[in-house]
Structure 1
Amino acid sequence: MRTILLSAFAAASLSLATVPATAADYDIVIRNGRVMDGAGNPWVHADVAIKDGRIARIGKVTGKGSREIDAKGRYVTPGWIDMMDQSGAVLRENGGAENKLLTGVTTVIAGEGGTPVPADQIAAYFSELESKGIAVNFGTYYSATQARREVIGDKGAAPTAAEMVEIRRKVETAMNAGTMGLATALIYPPGSFQTTDELVEIVKAAAPCQAIYATHMRDESAGLLDGIREAIEIGERAGVKVEIFHLKAAYAPRFGQMMPEAVKLINEARAKGIDVAADMYLYPFAGTGLEITAPTWVYENGFEAAVALLKDPAARERMKKDLAAGPQPGWTNMVYSAGGWDRVVLANPHNPKWEKYRFQSIAAIAKDVGRDPADVAWDIMLEALPKRAVALYFMMDERDIETGLKQPWVSIGSDAGAAPVYGKIDGLGLPHPRAYGNAARTIAEYVKRRPVLTLEDAVRKMTSWPAARMGLNDRGVLREGLRADITVFDYDKLDDRASFAEPTISPVGIDYVLVNGQLAVDGGKPTAARPGMVLKGACAPAADS
């Protein structure tokens, strides 16, 4: 009898092994989460089912997923959008964008300085990204200054009528390839030489494509309000939306005073029907090259001529007088605006000679070597060439950050790139914590540690609001049928961690990140998946959805 029973059991086991397993209903099911839709609504307990890259069901999901994730106690939100990214070049080298993913970001909008290729190569550049594979969704602006440089170079002369026709043709080519709008960085030469009227004519070429004019304004310091007025004027005259990059009141003599005035000015424009908004990174120090410490006139005849002037002792004496005089028309004077050389900190000298001074102020370095701070800064800049020596400028105040962040039309942008190698500084070569922490900091600092925002609004600023702003109608909220860009995080554990002293540490508390329905972060670790898409503007050729 025992032999018969064993034979029957073996036969049954063999039968069970050969019966195909029941096919899963979904690719992934996230269960038991606190689902926050991104539109500003409170969370609800629900499951989220994903199939073929899209959200298939939200609610009580009875079907099974090929992968089941228990999100009990965690928040399930749309993937976070970085509205001012700098990854356009580095994604060609490393499409993994691990530092972005691990701060909850699934979509990046780049292009402050334009694209890493000329206008007529943008379509091929997009194809390259798609064929190599990227882990995040990627959209970009083209640059009005880039178009100008492609036609007339980097000198300060105004374009002729014929050159303007060619500049506008470059813009049309870029927009038809799929860029999302036109950007400027008017604080930097040669952009600083472009007049308002010139920019209006260039931006008009992008208007038929529902473009956004996005700008690093001409002045974010003493002339902040004039910078905002110019941005609004360009958008209104050209017939496009306006996005102010990294809104800040970077002027130490008026900390706590200028940001309320800036907010009032933008609100007045919006009340008149002008579509203007802004993004912010959430640190009280900026990061950019040391070349910005020289007055704009130095660059009037191009960069090579500027290098010669920066080596000329007589020219340096004139530059030092300008530094002492404060902000001037067309030049922010970031040293004066920050409060002096003791608030300008060397971040990356790109030269072993100066490496020991990394994260020391220019004033402290100058004292150590017994030289004038301006001379030290310009020597570091010149000795880094062809690389760009960069510094941190401590020129913002937390009161102003909080005032700006509270505005409903402000989204979140890091002004940082993906890292070529995870755990190292970003593709800009700038060791600023915003590259690893900005998005997570929105919640960790301004919801948890300080009650500046509600959690619902913090999530909205990184999801539905930027998606609506950029016309990304298939993502940014959790709705059935939309793209499954999803961030799952533990609110109690969430901490941005990256700091001035240790800028390349990723947050904790972000457990799962899905991009177009695939796990790009699994259990807090990046995967090898490359599910990102190139997101294109309205004039791009129709593509399969």
Structure 2
Amino acid sequence: MNLTLRFLTVLMLSMLASSFSTAQDYDLVITNGRVMDPETQFDAVANVGIKGNKIIIITDKAIKGHEEIDAKGLVVAPGFIDTHFHWTRPIGYKLALRDGVTTAMDLEAGVYGPRVSDWYQMHDNNSQVNYGTGSGHEFARTKVMQNLPDEDLLDASWSVVKGRSSGTAWFEKVANLDEGNRMLTIIDEGLRQGALGVASTVGYMPGATAREMYEIQRVGANYGRPTAVHLRYTPGTVTTEANGAQEILTNAIALNSPAIINHYNNPGWELVQELLVKLRAQGHNVWGEIYPYAAGQTTINAAFIKPETWVEKLGNKYENTMQDPLTGDFYTMETYQEVLAKAPATQVVLYKMDPKAIPDWCRLPGVTFASDAMMLPGGWDEEPVWETPYEDIPNTHPRLAGTHGTCLRIAREEGIPLMQILAASSYNQAKYLGKTGLEAMKVRGRMQQGMIADITILDPKTVKDNATYTKGTLPTTGIPFVIVNGTIVVKDSKVLKGVNPGQPIRFPIEDKGRFEPLSIENWKNDYLVGDEFLQGGLDHGHVH
């Protein structure tokens, strides 16, 4: 075949392929929508063709599908990725879907390391969104310090709320070398089973020393996975908050490992943001998250809201900062002490920031939005409650139902570019996690051909949050369609019951763990300098 004939043949085949790609029927077609992709900055009216779970084509040509969504006047965006979502159960996911979330992961608390595989199995073919979890520092500490039986921690319904009711040693006690090694072994087992990283709530555990936190991050570094941290001293002052971030970021640099600074929308956020931006510019895979609210939510036995810290050091009053989400009443010193004694894991809303800062948080380059959605105790993790009307769900912090709707509304009101909000809702998370080697995130968070069809379709003119501190379970409106792995899960603003296309977001299971127990001797062998030891090592039989 001569060159001219070969060229014509190739040209004809190319034209046929192009014609086929625009004429074939797709499983699902989204027409006339404004397609926005934060990675490439693509922003144009186009049609999207989906086969199976993948985006096959994005084109200005007419295409047809077995099912069609007319998205005229709507934005077609990558599905939102929430990396800090505690209510990893059906009704929690239902509220997340109304807020545009297609992937929900708990990277702050996580689960007890040895039950990571059980947690994923619990979700198999039973989840409306993609799901993932971390290997929990707090769970490991609770197990070791409270000497809890394995059968409790292996129960699929075990939660941080239950753990925090088990005593005080989990947060007060300083670990000795044996206890430290047992904790690290438990966390390592979770990573071996495919957990996305180490999940640490060190801010709740004053007994956890700087050495313990360093070794916790080292376990994650052995796998190249991030440690996500509720910082020490959070919430605190502009100095202590920043010091908490500096601890984690310094460890990450020394260990050459990824790190996530959880909800740094607290005093000192400006410095934390600058540290993150400058470190990323130097090639470090470190990032942080915010939620767009002036108040947080926690359990009443949190160390940082004890009177000696919250009242005496930080100058707050329970009467105007600590609220019962169920009744709306604010605490007094007397009611705080009474509830703390009777029900130490009771959840409270804690007011801690000036709301005027919220638009600035939404503008932060490289930030991620994450809800920190808290679970409800008392049977609300069970599937039968899925059909409960939104307004009848017991009250909780509005960030559960409204985080992304709030950011989208603020963007419209404050003139923040929509592409910035979409990046912070989807692409940034996928980019950072993809850099850790997590394959599932390399193909999400993007509106591009060949990517997984996790898609959120929203009305930029009307999308808004409806959840309030008075009623925190009212869903976001203005997000009429949500697609997970190519399957419509929210249609005309209704979550479709029994549609469970969610897939695991997980690292492969490994044959054996990577943690080697610590000892005074191996530390000396590694860090002996002349006749002196580097300060801060494993001494006196404790993990410092």
TMscore range, shorter length: 0.7 to 0.9
Q: Measured at CA, do residues 230 and 538 of structure 1 come closer, stay the same or move farther in structure 2, by a change above 3 Å?
A: farther
Could you tell me how far 1:181 is from its partner in structure 2?
0.6
Q: Which runs of 5+ in 2 are unaligned?
A: 1-22, 147-168, 435-440, 512-544
Aligned partner letter, 2:135: Y
Could you tell me how far 1:61 is from its partner in structure 2?
4.9
Match for 2:244 among 227, 232, 240? 227
Could you tell me how far 1:63 is from its partner in structure 2?
4.1
Are the equivalent residues in 1 in contact too, given 2:395–2:473 (CA < 8 A)?
A: no
List aligned pairs for 1:133-532, cutoff 5 A. 133-153=126-146, 154-155=169-170, 156-188=172-204, 191-220=205-234, 221-222=236-237, 223-250=240-267, 258-292=268-302, 324-327=311-314, 336=315, 338=316, 340-348=318-326, 358-362=327-331, 373-384=332-343, 388-417=345-374, 420=380, 421=385, 422-424=388-390, 431-445=396-410, 447-451=411-415, 453-471=416-434, 472-528=441-497, 529-532=499-502
Q: Does the residue aligned with 2:110 lie in a helix, a strand or coil? A: coil
Are the equivalent residues in 2 in contact too, given 1:263–1:404 (CA < 8 A)?
A: no
Alignment TM-score, normalising by the size of structure 1: 0.76
Are the equivalent residues in 1 in contact too, given 2:36–2:42 (CA < 8 A)?
A: yes
2:83 counterpart of 1:83: yes
Are the equivalent residues in 2 in contact too, given 1:50–1:56 (CA < 8 A)?
A: yes
Take 1:261 and 1:290, find their aligned partners in 2: how far apart are those partners? 28
Q: Which is greater in Rg?
A: 1
Q: Does the residue aligned with 1:513 lie in a helix, a strand or coil? A: strand
- Corresponding position of 1:124: 118
Q: Which runs of 4+ in 1 moved over 4 A?
A: 293-296, 320-324, 422-427, 538-541
2:40 counterpart of 1:26: no
- Corresponding position of 2:45: 45
Aligned partner letter, 1:124: D
Could you tell me how far 1:414 is from its partner in structure 2?
0.3
Q: Measured at CA, do residues 40 and 379 of structure 1 come closer, stay the same or move farther in structure 2, by a change above 3 Å?
A: farther
Take 1:294 and 1:139, find their aligned partners in 2: how far apart are those partners? 28
Q: Does the residue aligned with 2:507 lie in a helix, a strand or coil? A: coil
Q: Measured at CA, do residues 259 and 119 of structure 1 come closer, stay the same or move farther in structure 2, by a change above 3 Å?
A: closer
List aligned pairs for 1:32-111, cutoff 5 A. 32-39=32-39, 41-88=41-88, 91=89, 94=90, 97-111=93-107
Q: Measured at CA, do residues 215 and 321 of structure 1 come closer, stay the same or move farther in structure 2, by a change above 3 Å?
A: closer
Take 1:33 and 1:242, find their aligned partners in 2: how far apart are those partners? 36
Take 2:420 and 2:182, find their aligned partners in 1: how far apart are those partners? 44
Q: Does the residue aligned with 2:443 lie in a helix, a strand or coil? A: coil
Q: Measured at CA, do residues 37 and 294 of structure 1 come closer, stay the same or move farther in structure 2, by a change above 3 Å?
A: closer
Could you tell me how far 1:418 is from its partner in structure 2?
6.7
Q: Measured at CA, do residues 415 and 430 of structure 1 come closer, stay the same or move farther in structure 2, by a change above 3 Å?
A: farther
Aligned partner letter, 2:360: T
Could you tell me how far 1:538 is from its partner in structure 2?
5.8
Q: Measured at CA, do residues 425 and 235 of structure 1 come closer, stay the same or move farther in structure 2, by a change above 3 Å?
A: farther
Could you tell me how far 1:122 is from its partner in structure 2?
1.6
**Number of aligned residues:** 447
- Corresponding position of 1:20: none
Q: Measured at CA, do residues 224 and 485 of structure 1 come closer, stay the same or move farther in structure 2, by a change above 3 Å?
A: same
Q: Does the residue aligned with 1:142 lie in a helix, a strand or coil? A: strand
- Corresponding position of 1:365: none
> Deviation digits for residues 128-159 of structure 1, max 9, x if unmatched?
2104x100111111122322333333344433
Take 1:403 and 1:424, find their aligned partners in 2: how far apart are those partners? 30
Are the equivalent residues in 2 in contact too, given 1:436–1:503 (CA < 8 A)?
A: yes
Q: Measured at CA, do residues 209 and 61 of structure 1 come closer, stay the same or move farther in structure 2, by a change above 3 Å?
A: farther
Are the equivalent residues in 1 in contact too, given 2:99–2:404 (CA < 8 A)?
A: yes
Take 1:475 and 1:426, find their aligned partners in 2: how far apart are those partners? 34
Take 2:337 and 2:304, find their aligned partners in 1: how far apart are those partners? 8
2:504 counterpart of 1:534: yes
Take 2:191 and 2:117, find their aligned partners in 1: how far apart are those partners? 10
> Deviation digits for residues 495-530 of structure 1, max 9, x if unmatched?
111112221111111111000000110111011210
Are the equivalent residues in 1 in contact too, given 2:362–2:421 (CA < 8 A)?
A: no
- Corresponding position of 2:12: none
Aligned partner letter, 1:265: L
Q: Does the residue aligned with 1:97 lie in a helix, a strand or coil? A: helix
Take 2:395 and 2:80, find their aligned partners in 1: how far apart are those partners? 22
Could you tell me how far 1:210 is from its partner in structure 2?
2.1
Q: Measured at CA, do residues 194 and 321 of structure 1 come closer, stay the same or move farther in structure 2, by a change above 3 Å?
A: closer
Q: Measured at CA, do residues 476 and 325 of structure 1 come closer, stay the same or move farther in structure 2, by a change above 3 Å?
A: same
Q: Percent identity?
A: 25
Q: Measured at CA, do residues 63 and 406 of structure 1 come closer, stay the same or move farther in structure 2, by a change above 3 Å?
A: closer
Take 1:95 and 1:134, find their aligned partners in 2: how far apart are those partners? 10
Are the equivalent residues in 1 in contact too, given 2:285–2:432 (CA < 8 A)?
A: no
> Deviation digits for residues 61-112 of structure 1, max 9, x if unmatched?
5442111111111110110111211123xx2xx3772100011110112142
Q: Measured at CA, do residues 395 and 290 of structure 1 come closer, stay the same or move farther in structure 2, by a change above 3 Å?
A: same
Take 2:456 and 2:119, find their aligned partners in 1: how far apart are those partners? 28
Q: Does the residue aligned with 2:371 lie in a helix, a strand or coil? A: coil
Take 1:246 and 1:82, find their aligned partners in 2: how far apart are those partners? 12
Aligned partner letter, 1:346: D
